Amino acid sequence: MIKRNLSLFISFLIVFLLISCVKEMNGNEQQSTIRFGIISAPVTLNPLFATDAVSGRINRLIYQQLIQFGDDNLPVPGLAKWQQINTRHYRFTLLKKNYFHHGKLLTPYDIKATYNAVLNKDNASPHLNSLKHIEHIEIIDDLTIDFYLSRADPLFPAFLVIGIMPEDLLKTGHRFNHHPIGSGDFKFSHRPFDGQLFLKRKSDQQLFEFLKVKDPTVRVLKLLRGELDLIQNNLPPEHIRYLKKQDKIKFLTQKGSNYSYLGFNLQDEVTGQIKLRKAIAHALDRDKIIQYALGNAAVKASSFFPPYHWAGLAMDNYHYNLVDAQILMRELGYSKYKRLKLSYKTSSDPFRIRIATIIQSQLKAIFIDVEIKSFDWGTFYGDIKQGKFQLYSLTWVGIRTPDIFRYVFHSASLPPAGANRGRLDNKQIDQLIEIAEQEPLIIEQAKYYQQLQEELDQLLPYVSLWYEDNIVFYSQNLIMQGQGYQVSADGNYDGLHFVTKPSVLL
């Protein structure tokens, strides 16, 4: 009996010790995991369909692209270098061996399969419209692949930013959104629920958690309590000022190039009126919004690209002018006795609601009563793509090349084929886009794109707002490797390549 009891005791002791060890291991893993607070979950982890900012930034870590961009916003080699054989023929050569996360060597067959998947109309990829001038793709050897175009395009390499996916999994219908398989430096680990994603850095097995925390105050509190290690952007100025004073929190800033705008439904009988859009443009005091709501951490925008971009253009046709705005509204038949009601859709992020509330307040002065409708990101984004809005505001992130104009403003780019969410249908705009695309010289192409921007400025499918600065706050416990975390102009997450966090030994 004593032996039996002793045996049971030893068994229970072993189980207890094993459980304790597992808990200790899990505790150490949690302590060493780098936790990044993000405003929304990625909509998709499949690069064929990613269009929102968070999806693009995370997919960029998981997958590799054929090209990258230099500081001058022109393409540089990524996976491959290239040469232009003639105006309609480009040859790409892989620079080194790369392996997908499931062990398969990345070859030109994977590149061809990825871009054929984009070009397959049955897939309804939103990137199809900007790449449909690819006539065919030909594999030359184990390192070389040729792209043949239906028209000349001096900027063609800059369009090849889709993350390369493995051919074998594309053929079998693998669900990349549920289990992404790329060749990037970060490998998918697990996704317990929609708002929580774990990636593991291949070089050292450092684990990263991306946690959706949409409320900025909660994000800040979690950072201060050590429940998060990094947060980036989407913070009101008072939170930024407070965090900058905290000894245990560090920060980095960078002037931004992400373009924020107010969008209109041009098919709506009210917001489709050009006089109304011009009145709204003149009624917005962007200087005050930038000063008081953004803490001067932004620069006024006049078009997609800042003036220093090679296709950029400085304009100021819609400076704040309340008198001109009221005159336009009176010409439309509105006054303080007859007010206009408009619906404005935005996300449920408190900071974005604050911006919407300020715009609502400013438009009251020109006889417009705005009803703000805020939704979770998925519902909001879905409504915008379907054209279910009068007014909305969003930010274009990571825009480098003027092919964005076809994607956003060409009449052939209505969702899901593109992002012409405002339903602009203008033959002159279409023609200018097509002429610019066919111009073989970039210098001349830039002139056409600048002319295009002047025409768009007259039509006002968007009211340009600002380029927000990028700022990251992080715990002093993080260890910076190499160049350390760098904040980019487009707010990507590439800086995660250079941070780590030591394990805590209990």
Is 227 inside a domain boundary? Answer: no
Is 476 inside a domain boundary? Answer: no
More confident residue, 295 or 81: 81
304 and 429 fall within a common domain: yes
118 and 264 fall within a common domain: no
CATH assignment at residue 329: 3.10.105.10
Is 212 inside a domain boundary? Answer: no
Averaged pLDDT for residues 354-376:
96
Cis, peptide link before residue 416, omega less than 30° from 0: yes
- Could you tell me if 466 and 290 are in contact, meaning their C-beta atoms sit under 8 angstroms apart? yes
Is 21 inside a domain boundary? Answer: no
Query: What is the DSSP-derived secondary structure letter of residue 293?
Result: I
Residues in contact with 317: Cβ distance below 8 Å, sequence separation at least 6, in sequence order: 302, 457
The token pair that represents 169 in the structure block? 């999994």
162 and 300 fall within a common domain: no
149 and 288 fall within a common domain: no
**One-letter identity of residue 115:** Y
Is 89 inside a domain boundary? Answer: yes
- Could you tell me if 188 and 202 are in contact, meaning their C-beta atoms sit under 8 angstroms apart? no
163 and 281 fall within a common domain: no
Distance CA 302, CA 500 (A): 39
Query: What is the DSSP-derived secondary structure letter of residue 365?
Result: G
Structure confidence at residue 21 (pLDDT) = 41
Domain end, chosen from 127, 153, 171, is at 171
Distance CA 455, CA 452 (A): 5
**One-letter identity of residue 180:** P
User: What DSSP assignment string belongs to 174-238?
Assistant: --TTTS----SSEEEEEEEETTEEEEEETTT--EEEEEE---HHHHHHHHHTTS-SEEES---HH
165 and 278 fall within a common domain: no
CATH assignment at residue 136: 3.90.76.10
> For a pLDDT cut of 70, what percent of the chain falls above it?
93
154 and 300 fall within a common domain: no
- Band of residue 10 on the pLDDT scale cut at 50, 70, 90: very low
Domain end, chosen from 144, 171, 198, is at 171
Number of domains in the chain: 2
The token pair that represents 26 in the structure block? 């899990």
pLDDT exceeds 90 at position 102: yes
Q: Are strands 259-264 and 391-396 parallel, antiparallel or unpaired?
A: antiparallel
157 and 268 fall within a common domain: no
- Could you tell me if 234 and 37 are in contact, meaning their C-beta atoms sit under 8 angstroms apart? no
| Chain segment 303-336, per-residue pLDDT in tens | 888 888 888 888 888 999 999 999 999 999 999 9
> For a pLDDT cut of 90, what percent of the chain falls above it?
71
Is 27 inside a domain boundary? Answer: no
Angle at 71 between CA 55 and CA 89, to 5 degrees: 80
Q: Which of 260, 317, 319 is nearest to 294 (CA)?
A: 260
461 and 325 fall within a common domain: yes
Torsion of CA 114, 115, 116, 117, to 10 degrees: 60
Structure confidence at residue 18 (pLDDT) = 39
User: What DSSP assignment string belongs to 354-418?
Assistant: HHHHHHHHHHGGGTEEEEEEEE-HHHHHHHHHTT--SEEEEEE-S--STTHHHHHHSGGG-TTSS
Residues in contact with 427: Cβ distance below 8 Å, sequence separation at least 6, in sequence order: 411
Structure confidence at residue 17 (pLDDT) = 40
pLDDT exceeds 70 at position 7: no
- Band of residue 503 on the pLDDT scale cut at 50, 70, 90: low
Is 296 inside a domain boundary? Answer: yes
Average pLDDT, the chain: 90
- Could you tell me if 430 and 410 are in contact, meaning their C-beta atoms sit under 8 angstroms apart? yes
Predicted model pTM: 0.78
Range of the structural domain that residue 359 is part of: 259-468
Structure confidence at residue 240 (pLDDT) = 92
Domain end, chosen from 171, 201, 223, is at 171
- Band of residue 11 on the pLDDT scale cut at 50, 70, 90: very low
User: Within 13 Å, how many C-alpha atoms sit on residue 163's CB side?
Assistant: 29
167 and 267 fall within a common domain: no
Is 360 inside a domain boundary? Answer: yes
Distance CA 158, CA 488 (A): 18
Structure confidence at residue 31 (pLDDT) = 64
More confident residue, 417 or 358: 358
160 and 291 fall within a common domain: no
320 and 431 fall within a common domain: yes
